[in-house]
Structure 1
Amino acid sequence: MSVLWLHWVRGIVTVQVRGGQPEELVNRALAGGLTLSSIRWTSDGKLQFEVSVSDFFRLRPYLKKTGCRIHVTGRAGFPFLLDKMGKRKFFALGIVLFFAIIYLLSSLVWTVEITGNSRMSDEQIEQAAKQEGIFPFQWSFKLADADLLSKRLTSKLPDASWVGVEKKGTRIVIQVVENTVPKTADLNTPRHLVASHDAVVTQILVEKGRPVVSKNTKVKKGQTLISGTIGDGAYTQTVPAKGVVKGLVWYEYNITSPLVQPVKVYTGEKKTKWYAVLGSRLLQVSGFGKTPFEQSEAVREEEQAGWRNWKLPIGRMKETVMEVRTEQRQLTADEAKQAGLLQAKAVLASKAGADSVVRDEIILHEKTDNGKVYMKVLFEVEQSIIEEMPLVHEQGD
């Protein structure tokens, strides 16, 4: 591909050979280091080939030795394009101006989009962005690096834990991740921490309050784990109990896992489409027509033109559309069993919490019937077992 591109830049001349010894001409020229391509006989029995402009003028001595004459039938390449443009100066000037205007327009920031904010107002973020030079009709090459802008905006917005800045063509997208504000209970409201499940306590750490149970204690759902009542007699007082209590909880699952499961397979067939990128716009230049695949996936690779540290708003994008098909994979009973257990554990993790750990699994019953594996499984999970219960004072008369 690079060789063809180089020939196009140098210019390519298509010639027909008349008279003399055409085969001898080709042999002598190739032996002399000339590059001839697309050598073929025409329908009227004349030899035709393509040669670069520089090698075209080196053909003269070989023509004399073989008694051949040549006739130019075609010209292509950059030198001839320049010659045509020179004859049409106003047209050439128009093309240059067109691309110059496209470049200037695509170098402007047309819109600033803000996403991810809920508590902070758009006006607050826009004001901070404007201080960093991010606003409509700003030259994009005047903006600082995206990482630097991200750090500066994060420091200017105290309610944001992270701010991302991304340039997409003529758009600047500011993505905001706000600080997580935990749900805070009234610190002055006394409460107990009670068991959320029947469990066996494996860990207890008390920050505030009085522990009522100890490690390896079996507790029932609703039983007090950390009391919000501390002291004794006249010195009794209530506090908001706080701490960590983990325990072993048991879950029973009925699992059904098929022996035949669908699997996505790439066939190796693909179609490639090329696009010219001008700012935020795409112009398809090859790979036209409908995609011939019933099922497919597309992968895009974009290349942006640049010079040194400058990124130009032009480039190209390659889109590869790959054919896929769904096949039915036959599993063994053990493979189906493991797949079912993994799926059950994923569901269990979402239910028990991200910090939960499956300590043991006991298969109570297992059978294979009608192309499926059926199991009844008991999972032993270590997880947090606390929930809050307000402590209500009983006022006497």
Structure 2
Amino acid sequence: MKPIQGSFIIGYVSILIKGDQPELFFQKCSRHGITIWDMKKHGPDLCEGKIKLADIKLIKKIRRGTGYKVSFVQKSGYPFLLKRFLRKRPLMIGLLLALFVIIFLSNIIWEVKITGVPKDIEEKISKQLNQYGVHPGAWIFSLQSPNEIQQQLVKDVPELLWVGVDQKGTTFYLEGVEKIIVKEIPAGEPRNLVAKKNGVIKELYVSKGIARVKVNDYVEKGDLLVSGVIGEDTVEDSTKGLVAADGLITANTWYEVSVTVPLEYYDEQVTGNNETKYYLKIGDFQLPVWGFGSPDYTDVHRETREATLRLLKWESPVKVVENVISEKTYNRRDRTKEEAIQIGIDQAKADLQLELGPEAKIMTEKILHESIEHGKVKLHLYITVEENIGDAQLLNQGD
């Protein structure tokens, strides 16, 4: 018979049967489901064959009372090689320590390179990275993903327009693009200030130019507020001059906003109970190494992080996966009509403030119309705002 597939991995032994017609013993073994291959007869009462390591106990059981003598002449396969290796403890300990040191050194940051930005911004980025824990000597598995670091840097360093973060081996590479503020009109260029929206002038402060409106005047979009032409009302054209009109023109403006707020809603809360599991991932296969079983949670929130296991500069296909499973609950809640109205007003004001910017000041709000449809409160609001409505407009030298 041919050797069975995978016999070296599972282990096999060569057995020598001694007795009258030893081949009959092998036939008896086959009837009990034992696979035998490479059978050789060395004499009238001597026969040799190979069996799987797992069948040794059954062979010994079958031999009892038969009168045959069974000898194990050769042991082969992975289990026996491993056993012999484990007996050499100094060698085994040395290899394990060496492997541990190599893996450890391959999974810490040795260098952080920052390119594409001036020195002052590079120092700010380096300072922020230290706060994130990204520095030489940091354990890679303890860091956020490059994508998370990239988003956080753009948020914390306002001078950055864009930054790319990449990890190659034990080195972190960051390439940044500095934010360049482009002014629509160069400073000092002759210009007027015109209204960028309708409103009623509340405050007027002109540092350069001639004011063409007064407090309490109603203006429409495009109306001239401050002229950059000095002396245009004089008789002599030679006395005219052009300046870059500048000033702060604050006006009361108004907006109509619609918002809808449900009377019934669900909120999600994390209870604080959680379990952390670790896996070794190769492709789509995950081998659990810590945290077995599933938590008895009805609803869960999962947060997964992956880190590639590295060996020197070689990136292995093995990834260490950390999976945090947190218990969460959903709670059904009801709002009164008054609560829904107040939430709608606050939401409308917050959205409008975000649109207009921090310099605008919301003054008053008035409900023009309210209704309840399909369990939702619908509001139509009239909101007044105090804001700067001045907008620069270039002057032609011939004006």
The alignment's TM-score, normalised by the length of structure 2, stands at 0.53
Mapped partners of 1:187, 1:140: distance in 2: 45
Determine helix, strand or coil for the equivalent of 1:98: helix
Cα deviations by residue, 1:298-324 (Å, 9 ceiling, x for unpaired): 46899xxxxxxxxxxxxx997531133
* Partner residue, 1:97: 98
8 Å CA contact 1:353–1:383 kept in 2: the answer is no
Bigger Rg, which one: 2
In structure 2, do the counterparts of structure 1 residues 182 and 205 end up closer, same or farther at CA, with 3 Å as the change threshold?
Answer: farther
Mapped partners of 1:382, 1:215: distance in 2: 13
* Partner residue, 1:198: 198
In structure 2, do the counterparts of structure 1 residues 181 and 361 end up closer, same or farther at CA, with 3 Å as the change threshold?
Answer: same
Q: CA deviation at 1:374?
A: 2.3
Mapped partners of 1:101, 1:200: distance in 2: 73
* Partner residue, 1:265: 269
Q: CA deviation at 1:388?
A: 2.3
Letter in 2 for 1:174: L
Mapped partners of 1:165, 1:251: distance in 2: 40
Q: CA deviation at 1:95?
A: 0.8
* Partner residue, 1:227: 227
Determine helix, strand or coil for the equivalent of 1:240: coil
1:322 aligns with 2:326: yes
Mapped partners of 2:105, 2:374: distance in 1: 68
Q: CA deviation at 1:260?
A: 1.4
8 Å CA contact 1:249–1:382 kept in 2: the answer is yes
Mapped partners of 1:161, 1:367: distance in 2: 46
* Partner residue, 1:344: 348
* Partner residue, 1:247: 251
For residues 137-148 of structure 1, the aligned pairs below 5 Å read 140=136
Letter in 2 for 1:273: K
Mapped partners of 2:110, 2:270: distance in 1: 41
Cα deviations by residue, 1:158-193 (Å, 9 ceiling, x for unpaired): x96799999988232537472542325234642211
Q: CA deviation at 1:370?
A: 3.1
In structure 2, do the counterparts of structure 1 residues 288 and 341 end up closer, same or farther at CA, with 3 Å as the change threshold?
Answer: same
Cα deviations by residue, 1:315-349 (Å, 9 ceiling, x for unpaired): x9975311335444211111111221122112212
Identity across matched positions, percent: 29
Cα deviations by residue, 1:235-276 (Å, 9 ceiling, x for unpaired): 111222222222110111233222112322336664322579
8 Å CA contact 1:256–1:373 kept in 2: the answer is yes
Determine helix, strand or coil for the equivalent of 1:382: strand
Alpha-carbon RMSD: 4.4
Count of residues paired in the alignment? 260
Mapped partners of 1:195, 1:162: distance in 2: 30
Letter in 1 for 2:191: R
In structure 2, do the counterparts of structure 1 residues 321 and 160 end up closer, same or farther at CA, with 3 Å as the change threshold?
Answer: same
Mapped partners of 1:106, 1:173: distance in 2: 15
In structure 2, do the counterparts of structure 1 residues 164 and 367 end up closer, same or farther at CA, with 3 Å as the change threshold?
Answer: closer
Letter in 1 for 2:335: L
Determine helix, strand or coil for the equivalent of 1:186: coil
Q: CA deviation at 1:351?
A: 2.6
Mapped partners of 1:386, 1:320: distance in 2: 53
Q: CA deviation at 1:380?
A: 0.7
Q: CA deviation at 1:112?
A: 4.4
Mapped partners of 2:180, 2:341: distance in 1: 40
8 Å CA contact 1:165–1:172 kept in 2: the answer is no
1:297 to 288, 294, 301: 301
In structure 2, do the counterparts of structure 1 residues 212 and 86 end up closer, same or farther at CA, with 3 Å as the change threshold?
Answer: farther
In structure 2, do the counterparts of structure 1 residues 268 and 161 end up closer, same or farther at CA, with 3 Å as the change threshold?
Answer: closer
Determine helix, strand or coil for the equivalent of 1:197: coil
Determine helix, strand or coil for the equivalent of 1:192: strand
For residues 357-372 of structure 1, the aligned pairs below 5 Å read 357-372=361-376
Q: CA deviation at 1:111?
A: 7.6
1:333 to 327, 332, 337: 337
Q: CA deviation at 1:360?
A: 0.5
Mapped partners of 2:332, 2:346: distance in 1: 20
In structure 2, do the counterparts of structure 1 residues 99 and 167 end up closer, same or farther at CA, with 3 Å as the change threshold?
Answer: farther
Determine helix, strand or coil for the equivalent of 1:368: strand
8 Å CA contact 1:361–1:380 kept in 2: the answer is yes
* Partner residue, 2:47: none
In structure 2, do the counterparts of structure 1 residues 203 and 297 end up closer, same or farther at CA, with 3 Å as the change threshold?
Answer: farther
Letter in 2 for 1:239: V
Structure 2: stretches of 5+ with no match in the other structure: 1-84, 126-134, 139-157, 281-285, 307-319
Letter in 1 for 2:380: K
Mapped partners of 1:104, 1:270: distance in 2: 31
Mapped partners of 1:163, 1:372: distance in 2: 41
Mapped partners of 2:393, 2:99: distance in 1: 72
Q: CA deviation at 1:109?
A: 3.2
* Partner residue, 1:211: 211
Mapped partners of 1:245, 1:265: distance in 2: 47
Mapped partners of 1:85, 1:106: distance in 2: 28
Mapped partners of 1:361, 1:109: distance in 2: 57
In structure 2, do the counterparts of structure 1 residues 99 and 250 end up closer, same or farther at CA, with 3 Å as the change threshold?
Answer: same
1:356 to 351, 354, 360: 360
1:374 to 350, 375, 378: 378
8 Å CA contact 2:269–2:330 kept in 1: the answer is yes
2:241 to 237, 240, 263: 237
Mapped partners of 1:236, 1:328: distance in 2: 71
Determine helix, strand or coil for the equivalent of 1:256: strand
